[in-house]
Structure 1
């Protein structure tokens, strides 16, 4: 056996970190991915296998709704993320540089989950 590996699961910030109305099933599924990630990480750590999850925030894709784009524009980074930014994190997690990082949710959301107020910036900032 190789006794080496990297598992990178795709979760979300919705579920493990925040909740949204009408997203009960989605949030539960994404939170479940984090639980699975952590359990797997414990089970395979002695074999030099790491297991982590990525929690994207608002990411602009061809299927993004106008509301999702606006939500991304209201995060501290003032823009939605890109698929390439998520891919870069996945590449890092699959690398040797992440060999001591396991069982974690890596949040990639432009600061969205650290910001309490999500409304218009005018008059607040």
Structure 2
């Protein structure tokens, strides 16, 4: 038996990059299990308010390319502008164990737009 309430935060530590499944030597489909357990957590109302707010916010951001582009620029501005003590505060649980690298000079979209035709000079 498992304690869904006690371990409800665990699947939310995953970024869904899929690397764990790719490198698993016995080919356990770990990303599928993470998705399954997140679904179980939500269906049993063990998810946290912050996760529902994050998902609602991301649904708005990912609704269209314009929203995503604005969010990218806002995020980059925040990384450059906000004081380090705020970015590394208890409000950011990832800051406890991770140091943020220096922010890039431009968003990926800006970089792509600037460089997309540089390799096609043949």
Name the larger-Rg structure: 2
The structure, 1 or 2, with the larger RCO (C-alpha pairs under 8 Å, 6+ apart) is 1
Give me the TM-score of the superposition, normalised by structure 2. 0.31
Bigger share in helix: 2
Bigger share in strand: 1
